[in-house]
Amino acid sequence: MATVPGAAATPGGLDTWHLAAYRRRVWRIVGVMGTIHYGGSGTTVHIEDRALAHLKVVISTKLRRGESFTLSWRHRDDEERGRSTLWLHPAIPLRFVFDNSEPTTLSREWIERLADSANSSGGIMLVPEDISPTAEAERS
């Protein structure tokens, strides 16, 4: 991969310029935004509708089994830099609101990747449907 002059390397092997480009491509808003309303404190999380539909399947399955776990995601470019994590528990109220009135067609592969991460010690890490960080680094 060619590096951009003046761009520092990151732990994942991408220089800072390519990492920023990756994040812009991965987290750009490609559709309407849905919302997770969590707990009684009014916590809201805005996630693209298609991603939210896939998360809903995995989250609902784990909560139906009585399992607690975390959900983590990187902030979008238009938000404060960083990442966030929620602790999800069956006793804490949770509501999914979709902006699009039509349900999306679900990807079995994406659901399986999210479910695999949900069963890890790190909990669900919201990853893009078509790009994983490892595949992106190998392609560059």
pLDDT in tens, 32-73: 888 999 988 878 888 899 999 999 999 999 999 999 999 998
Pick 78 or 58 by higher pLDDT.
58
What dihedral angle (degrees, nearest 10) is formed by the CA atoms of 31, 136, 82, 20? -90
Q: How confident is the model at residue 25 (pLDDT cuts 50, 70, 90)?
A: very low
Total-model pTM: 0.68
Phi, psi angles (nearest 5°) of residue 8: -80, 150
Task: Tell me: pLDDT of 17 over 70.
Answer: no
Cα–chain-centroid distance for residue 71? 8
Does residue 79 contact residue 62 with C-beta atoms inside 8 Å?
no
- Could you give the angle at which helices 49-64 and 108-118 cross, rounded to 10 degrees? 50
